[in-house]
Structure 1
Amino acid sequence: MRETRNEIPGGTSLERADSRSALMKFVDRLVSRKKQMTTPGAVSAPVYHERQLKELCALHALNNLFQDGKAFNKHMLDQICHSLSPDHLVNPHKSVLGLGNYDVNVIMAALQSKGFEAIWFDKRKDPSMIDLAKILGFILNVPNELKLAFLQFPLSRKHWVAVREIRQLVTEPYPVCEFYPGSRPRGEPAGLFFNLDSKLDVPVCIGGEEDVIKFLRDQAKSKEREIFIVVRQDIGKECYKPQLR
């Protein structure tokens, strides 16, 4: 009896296996949770993505935004909390259980320590007014429904999410990525924007500039979601297009 194989047109089963293996290698190199950006400026490296641990979404969002796992740690954010409210027995800027759950004041202070600031985006305006070439990225504050197994509770907490541009370079044998320290160099082509939510298994590519504008418009439709534009302090509100400031 002749052996039969399920094959996809255009290639043998062996070729298909080789193709799948190459794809998995590409994904492994593109999405890495172990490698960080350690050199200032534009650096070639895989996409850095921290996954959710305890209530440390603010920490993960900051490190994912800077593409640097050493940018901040829990101790540093706890120190910021103390500096913001040194005389409070119960610190209002984090969880009383010490699990994280940092508020926006901690994120803003952390960004300022790196020479950046978070500008609250007025959702009555259109995201197309943002000059994407001048920003580091976005931090979103979104609802986070509490779930236990298949049960969903009526209580909700807020969750921090980083979104930023990463320019992919096609090199041999695999594409790598290039990170900019806060604004895109003049004349450089735009890259791809990634959703670096720590609750995702892997980073999700949103797409190009038009795609991220649509993504932000969708986020802005919800009263429970807030958008913060992260820019260098010397740029500030210059991150808006001149005719639309």
Structure 2
Amino acid sequence: MDEKPIYHEKQRLQFCLLHALNNLMQVTTCNFLCAIRDVVVKFNLFFVVKEKDSFRRAELDAIAEKLLADDPFRSQWTPLSLIFKPHHNVFTGNYDVNVLIAALESRRKRVVWHDRRNGASSINLAEESLLGIMLNIPVRRFGGVWSGRHWVSLRNINGVWYNLDSDLASPVSFEHQEEMREFLNNVIDQGGEILIILREKL
């Protein structure tokens, strides 16, 4: 039986979290039904079509807006806060970890923040409930003029771990777990954060 091709979204603007989530879930984004869902999410309508595992921009925007509704510091916002909101940028994305956690919880996934003091050796890559790993890494672009953070997903597909970074031209496989652990330790050394994504046990 032919294996399904690895799903890999490429980087667009600052929507790296959107791409990383879909690459992690390995579910091709839908077209017509998701377009309907975008309208439903935007206008808070009742939606009866079965939820897809893939994510769309409208859904992440809605999650970010819901988080804003409970922001205790909203009274301290400036006019720029209408664009550069605490959890996302209304034009380019740039979603934060709170959006990531809420999004994955909506798909019955649990996010565990890895204690960087323990290094990558403490991560059980053979854990049965392990769906994948999300990284938040510092990046510099445009010759170092602009610096920010970037979301990256790693996932074991058919027994092989892959780096599904949306900045890559295509997924890159790790030859063995030790190579992946070295990669993760380098992420920690460079100031990156590691989040373990677990499937909820039924």
Match of residue 13 from structure 1: none
The structural deviation recorded for 1:219 is 1.5
More strand by share: 1
Cα contact 1:206–1:215 (8 A) shared by 2: no
After superposition, the C-alpha distances for 1:199-231 in whole angstroms (9 at most, x for unaligned) are 001111122222212221221222x21111111
- Matched residue, 2:28: 69
CA RMSD of aligned residues (A): 1.9
* Identity, % of aligned positions: 41
Instruction: Please name the residue that 1:239 is paired with.
Output: none
Query: Structure 1 residue 82: deviation in Å?
Result: 1.0
* Contact 1:194–1:207 under 8 Å retained in 2: no
Instruction: Report the Cα offset of residue 99 of structure 1.
Output: 1.2
The one-letter amino acid paired with 2:133 is F
Contact kept? 1:121, 1:229, Cα under 8 Å: yes
Q: 2:87 aligns with which of 81, 93, 100?
A: 93
Question: What secondary structure sits across from 2:196 in the alignment?
Answer: strand
Unaligned runs of 5+ residues in structure 1 are 1-42, 168-190, 236-245
CA deviations 1:9-29 (Å, max 9, x no partner) are xxxxxxxxxxxxxxxxxxxxx
Q: Does residue 230 of structure 1 match 2:197?
A: yes
- The answer on 1:83 being equivalent to 2:83 is no
Q: Which has the higher helix share?
A: 2
Deviation at 1:133, TM superposition (A): 2.4
TM-superposed CA distance for 1:233, in Å, is 3.3
Deviations for 1:40-62, whole angstroms, at most 9, x for unmatched residues? xxx94111100001110000000
Give the secondary-structure state (helix, strand or coil) at the position aligned to 2:95.
Answer: coil
The answer (yes or no) to whether the contact 1:163–1:194 under 8 Å persists in 2 is yes
Looking at structure 1, the residues matched to 192 and 125 of structure 2 have their Cα atoms a distance apart, in angstroms, of 20
Q: Deviations over 1:145-200 (max 9, x none)?
A: 131xxx430x3110000011111xxxxxxxxxxxxxxxxxxxxxxx1111100000
What is the TM-score when the length of structure 2 is the normalising length? 0.75
- Report the structure number with the largest CA radius of gyration: 1
Would you say 1:196 and 2:164 are equivalent positions? yes
Aligned length: 164
Q: Which residue of 2 aligns with 1:152?
A: 144
Q: Mapping of 1:46-195 within 5 angstroms?
A: 46-70=5-29, 71-86=54-69, 90=82, 91-96=85-90, 98-134=91-127, 135-147=130-142, 151-153=143-145, 155-167=146-158, 191-195=159-163
Using the alignment, how far apart are the partners of 1:69 and 1:79 within structure 2? Answer: 21
Question: 1:112-144: per-residue Cα shift (whole Å, max 9, x none)?
Answer: 000112211111103222221221111100112
Residue 86 (structure 1) shift: 2.1
